[in-house]
Amino acid sequence: MAKRQFKYVGHSVPRVDGVDKVTGKAKFVGDIVVPGMLYGKILRSPYPHARIRAIDPTEAEALPGVVAVLTAADIDDLNPIYNGRPIIAMHKVRYVGEPVAAVAALDLATAEEALGLIQVDYEELPTVVGIDAAVKKDAPLIHEEKGSNIGTHEQVRRGDADEGFTQSDEVVEDTFTFPMVYHYAMEPHSVIAHYDDNDEITVWSSAQHPFQVRSDISKIFKVPPSKVRLIINYLGGGYGSKSYTKFEPLALALARKAKQPVRICNSVGESMITVRRHGARVRIRTGVKRDGTIMAREAEIYLDTGGYDDNGPQVTARSATRVLGPYWIPNIRTDAYQVYTNTGSAGSYRAIGAPQVIFAGESQIEILAAKLGMDPAELRMKNLLKTGQELRPGLKGIDANLTSSLKSLIRESGWKKSRKKKNAAVGMGCAITNAGATPVSVAMIRMQSDGIANIAAGSTEMGQGVRTTLTQIAAEELTLPMEQFRMLGADTKVTPYDSSTGSSRSTTLMGTAVQKAARDLKQQFVKIGAQILSVKPRQIQVIDGALISGEARLTFKEAFERRFGKGAGGEMIGRGEAGPEITDHKLPVFWEVGMGTAEVEIDHETGEVKLKKFISVADVGKAIHPEHCIAQEEGAAMQGIGHTFFEQLIYDNGQLINPNLVDYRIPTFDDVPEEFHTVLVENGDGPGPFGVRGMAEGGILSVAPSVCNAIDRATSVRIKDLPLTPERVWRALRDAKK
C-alpha cells in the first residue's frame, strides 16, 4: 500500500499565532483592561506557621482610593475550600506568603500602601520544614484534623517482593533526594474577575484548565456553571504551574465585595510561592539475576507537598507507578506519601511525579549494570516492556515500541563507540509515563459563507503551538488551505468542553475531536454534492476543497451557495468529540516515552560539570509539526538541565530565601549542550489523529539520571542528591579520594 502523502500534517508550517505574538498583538491577562477595573494586591503571611488571632482592616479601608478589603470574614457564605486550601487564610496560615487579606484600589500604588495598614495579630506556631521534620513521630501538625503530616498514600503491589529479592543474585538499595523547583513560566499568574448584580461571573485568567476552574468557582460561589464564564486568551507558558485553580476565587471574592472588576497579577516571587514542583526523598531497592533479569523493585517515596494539597494527591499516585521505569518487573512493592510542610504548595509540573523517581530508578539501573559487568543499554534492553505488556496492575498495556526507541537512541547517540573509551563520561536514562489525562474533549468547526472555518476548541495556547497543530489537522481533513481557518482562545460560554490542557493530551484528544468535527463537516458537503451531482456519496472525492465525481467538480463555496442561496449567508457546523472509548475505556490514554544520553565534562578542581552532548528520543507516533515536537522535547530537556545542575528553592526556617531570578538560577543559552539533538520516532501507533501520541514531557526525564550516570562512569563517584552544584560535586570527588 502506498504511503499516504500529507499536505499539512507532518510539515513544519508557520505558526498561526506567530505574527500576533512577535508584533505584540497577542493579548495576555496583564494586557487586558476591563471598564471600571480596579487593581488588586494580596497581603501575605510573614510567618510559615501561625494562628490568626484577629485582622483589623479599618485603616486600610479608610485610605482614599481603596474600594474594598477582603478578609476571611467576607467569605462566610461561600464554600471556601478548594483543592484542600481556603480562598484566603482562615484561622491559621501554613506557609510564608499565604494570602491573609486582599485590597482592591483605584491604582496599584494605593493598593500597595493599603496592605501596610492592615493590622494582623498572629500567634506563631512551631515550623515544620523538610520531609524529615514533617514525618517525625511528634512533629507539629500542619493540618490538625488529619492526625499526621501525611496526606495521600499510594501503593502498587504485584507478586511477592520479598521472594523476588530472595531469588535475586544482586540487590542494591539507595536513597536519592530531589529539590523543590519553580516552573518559571515567563508570564506570572494573573486574573481579572467580575461578579455582577445577577450573580453572573466573568473571569479572565492565565489558567491551563478553564473548565475545571469554572467547576471550582461554581461550587465555591454556589452558582450554576452556566453563570460562570472563563475567558482565556494566551498564556506565557504553563508547564503545569497554571493547572487547576490558583487564586481565581480570591480575586472573584474581592471583586464581589468591591462590586467592580478587579485585576491581580503576581510578581515572579509571588508565583514562586503559589506553586512549585514537589521535593522528594526516594528510597529504592532493586534485585536482579546474574543474567540481568530484574526480579523485584521496592520503593518508598516521600513528596514534599507544602502547606496544601493543590495537585499533590495525583502527583503522589503517578510517582508510585513511574518509579517502576519502562521495565517488566514481576515483583513490585512501592509506597508513595504526600507530606505536608510549612512551605509554598506544590502541584503539577511537567511529567508530574516522574523526574523525582526516574532519577532514582535510572541511577540504580546503572549501579546494577556496573555490579553485573553489563552494558547499561543491554541491561535496559533485556528488561524493556513489550507492546501490550502491563507495567502496573489495572493500567492499559504498553502501546509503544520501547525496543525501537532504545535502538534509535543507541544508534543516534553513538553509544557503543562512546562506551569503548575508558572512563568515558557518558550516561543513559530511559522512562515512560502514563500520560493523557481525562479523555473528554469536544470541538466544533463552523464554516461561514465566506469560506472561513472557525475552530472552536477549549485547548489553551500557552506556547506549545496547539492552535497551529489543530489547524493542521482540520486543514488536512477538509483539504482547505490553513489560511481559511481561525482559532481563538477558550471561552467557556461559547467553546465546547475540554477537560484540561495538560498531561500531553491536547494533540491526541482534542486533535481527535477536531479531526472528527472536520470529517463531520466534510460529510455534510459530500451529501450536498451527491444531491447536486446526482451521484452516490461514495462516488465523490474531496480534493483541495472541492467535491469531485468523474469530470464534475463543485467547490465547497459553490456547494454552500447551492444549499443556502447565493449571498444568503448561512452556516455549516461540524461536531466531534473524544471520549473514554478512544482507548476502550482503559487508562492511560497513551504511554509517553522519554529516553536520552548525556556526555559531560568534569572540572575536578572546581566541581563544575558541563553538559557537552545530549541526545534524546521521543516516540511521537506521528509528528504533526516536527519543529514543534523537537522544540518541546528540547525545551523539556532544558528544564531537566535546570533541576539537574542548579535549580532549587531554598528555605531557611520556613522563609524562602531565593524568591527571585537573581538568587534562583534558571538555564540560559550558555547551558545549552554543544551537541543537542532530538530523534523523533514515528511508528503511527498512537491513539490520536494519524497515529499521533502526546509528547513534550518525556524530554525532562532522562537528563538527571544520564548526567549522574556519566559522572559515575568517569569518576566512580555516585551522586544521589540534586542539584549538582559545583560545591556538591567537588565535595563528592574530594570525599572519594579520601
Domains of the chain, residue spans? 36-125+183-272, 279-436+588-737, 438-582
Strands (DSSP E) along 569-705, which ranges? 571-578, 590-602, 609-619, 651-652, 655-656, 675-681
Whole-angstrom distance, CA of residue 690 vs CA of residue 698: 21
More reliable by pLDDT, 466 or 436? 466
pLDDT, tens digit, for every residue of 487-534? 999 999 999 999 999 989 999 999 999 999 999 999 999 999 999 999
Spell out the residues 6+ positions from residue 66 whose beta carbon is closer than 8 angstroms to its own: 60, 103, 104, 105, 110, 111, 114
Cell of 199: 450573580
For residue 29, what pLDDT is reported?
96
CATH class for the region spanning 279-436+588-737:
alpha beta
Arithmetic mean of pLDDT, 548-558:
94
Arithmetic mean of pLDDT, 224-243:
96
With DSSP H G I counted as helix, E B as strand and the rest as coil, what are the percentages for the chain, rounded to 5?
A: 30, 25, 40
Kindly tell me if the per-residue pLDDT of 738 is higher than 90.
Answer: no
Give the up-direction half-sphere exposure of residue 450: CA atoms within 13 A in the CB hemisphere.
Answer: 6
Question: What stretch of H or E contains 458?
Answer: none
For residue 57, what pLDDT is reported?
98
A 10 A CB-CB count for 392 gives: 17
Arithmetic mean of pLDDT, 606-633:
97
More reliable by pLDDT, 423 or 310? 310
CB of 636 within 8 A of CB of 699? yes
Arithmetic mean of pLDDT, 572-597:
94
3-state SS of 325-387 is: CCECCCEEEEEEEEEECCCCCECCCCCCCHHHHHHHHHHHHHHHHHHHCCCHHHHHHHHECCC
For residue 568, what pLDDT is reported?
75
Reply yes or no on domain 36-125+183-272 having CATH 3.90.1170.50: yes
Whole-angstrom distance, CA of residue 636 vs CA of residue 350: 8
Size of the chain in residues = 738
Arithmetic mean of pLDDT, 229-250:
96
| Strand-pair partners of 577 | 442
Arithmetic mean of pLDDT, 144-162:
97
A 10 A CB-CB count for 366 gives: 25
The residue to which cell 502514563 is assigned? 434
Q: What percent of the chain has pLDDT over 90?
A: 95
For residue 428, what pLDDT is reported?
98
More reliable by pLDDT, 5 or 381? 381
| Long-range contact pairs involving 533-539 (C-beta distance under 8 Å, separation at least 24) | none
Q: How far is CA 539 from the centre of its chain?
A: 45
Phi, psi dihedrals of residue 226, rounded to the nearest 5°: -65, -20
Sign of the C-alpha dihedral, residues 360, 180, 652, 728? positive
Instruction: Output the average pLDDT for the chain.
Output: 96
Arithmetic mean of pLDDT, 277-303:
98
For residue 1, what pLDDT is reported?
46
For residue 582, what pLDDT is reported?
87
CA dihedral 690, 693, 694, 697 (to 10 degrees): -140
Categorize the per-residue pLDDT at 567 as very low, low, confident or very high, splitting at 50, 70 and 90: confident
For residue 16, what pLDDT is reported?
96
Categorize the per-residue pLDDT at 2 as very low, low, confident or very high, splitting at 50, 70 and 90: low
Query: What's the pTM?
Result: 0.96
pLDDT, tens digit, for every residue of 64-122? 999 999 999 999 999 999 989 999 999 999 999 999 999 999 999 999 999 999 999 99
For the ranges 13-22, 67-76, 169-178, 434-443, which has the lowest average pLDDT?
434-443
Q: In whole angstroms, how far apart are CA 397 and each of 201, 386, 579, 586?
A: 43, 9, 19, 9
Is it true that 36-125+183-272 and 438-582 share their CATH fold? no
pLDDT, tens digit, for every residue of 189-215? 999 999 998 999 999 999 999 999 999
CATH class for the region spanning 438-582:
alpha beta
